[in-house]
Amino acid sequence: MISARAVAGVLPGLAPATYARDHACFETRSDQRRLIADHLVTVLADRRIGPISMLSVGCGDGALDARLAATLADVLPTRPVRYVGIDPYAGSAAAFVAALSDLDRESLETQVHVATFDEAPVAGPFDVITFVHSMYYVPRVAETLRAAFDLLGPGGELIVVNAPRGVLNALVGVLAPPLEGHRQWFSDDVVAGFAEAGQQLEEIVTLEGRLDLAVASDAVLDFTVQARLTPELRPLVRAYLHAVSVPDASGEMRVPHPVDVFCVKRSDL
Ligand SMILES: C[S@@+](CC[C@H](N)C(=O)[O-])C[C@H]1O[C@@H](n2cnc3c(N)ncnc32)[C@H](O)[C@@H]1O
């Protein structure tokens, strides 16, 4: 793998036009999104009273946010729910709006900004702000956390859902090209960012997902490593993924696909 990697040089990154489609295919091979949705629904269940405003940073196609928005709207059918998404890819932002509109809840007001978090003209306050699998891409973690915290209202929560480096993302570390001058940020970077921002973390929750990459397409494999692989590297990456797989409860071989959930709260005062 090391010599094939050296021969390949710096690999191209993922194309914006196909990112969302390949991400959706990748998610079908993992139980992680269901674990995240179940966890966030439990967190939101504590917020049963009054209007609520949510901000989803890096909302993607809204597949996860639609489930959360429906949960919030259905607690009280007349309860005003303001749900704002931010995503730099116009195709994903449009899909987010469509996914929430399809819920057809009168009390749900949806808005989206086609922009990076840094550039989005978003106005708080928000009760809950989520970064689900999007903190990897921001230029500076601590600065982003500070800016997000400032958008919270009293009693608000900032929730970051991010992958640890682990056996899976060791591949990203080796194979993915830098993003606008920085590598992708994993959980240890997020922990360091919270410390640098002076924000007090609640207990970190790890959700133990499992990923089935045994018959993954080339596009899903590329999404997995966040780079366009060469034909020489693909079989080596598949062999690595097979080697790090472990049997799940039914004995099927799966790649460990854990994700960490970080939360900070703004005091009520
Ligand atoms: C892995 S997807 C996650 C999408 C969605 N949150 C989910 O869990 O299905 C990461 C998303 O972050 C977006 N993104 C990338 N850089 C960003 C930035 N600087 N600010 C906000 N979103 C960003 C991407 O366009 C992409 O839709």
Number of domains in the chain: 1
Longest Cα–Cα distance of the chain, Å, equals: 61
Question: How far apart, in Å, are the Cα atoms of 69 and each of 21, 49, 72, 99, 102?
Answer: 22, 15, 5, 10, 11
58 lines ligand 1 (CB under 6 A): yes
Q: How far is the CA of 56 from the centre of ligand 1 (A)?
A: 9
- Domain of residue 152: give its range: 2-265
CATH number at residue 108: 3.40.50.150
Structure confidence by residue, pLDDT tens digits, 110-160: 999 999 999 999 999 999 999 999 999 999 999 999 999 999 999 999 999
Q: Which two tokens stand for residue 207?
A: 């959700």
pLDDT 10s digits, 228-245: 999 999 999 999 999 999
pLDDT digits (tens, 9 = 90+) for 158-211: 999 999 999 999 999 999 998 888 999 999 999 999 999 999 999 999 999 999
For residue 3, pLDDT over 70 is answered with: no
Q: Whose CA is nearest to atom 15 of ligand 1?
A: 137
| Predicted local distance difference test score (pLDDT) of residue 180 | 83
Residue ID of nearest Cα to ligand 1 atom 11: 58
Tokens 């989520």 correspond to what residue? 130
What distance in angstroms lies between residue 7's CA and the mean position of ligand 1's atoms? 31
Alpha-carbon span 14 to 16, nearest angstrom: 6
> For residue 17, what pLDDT is reported?
84
**Cα 108 to averaged position of ligand 1 atoms, centre (Å):** 22
CB 23 less than 6 A from any atom of ligand 1: yes
Confidence of residue 269 (pLDDT cuts 50, 70, 90): low
Residue-level pLDDT at 2 = 60
Burial class (CB in 10 A: 0-12, 13-18, 19+), 269: exposed
User: Residue 30: pLDDT above 90?
Assistant: yes
Q: What is the pLDDT of residues 40-53, one digit of tens each?
A: 999 998 887 888 99
Whether the per-residue pLDDT at 65 is higher than 90: the answer is yes
Is the per-residue pLDDT at 100 higher than 70?
yes
Return d(Cα 184, Cα 156) in angstroms, integer.
Answer: 27
State the sign of the Cα–Cα–Cα–Cα dihedral 250, 251, 252, 257.
Answer: positive
CB of 131 sitting under 6 A from ligand 1 = no
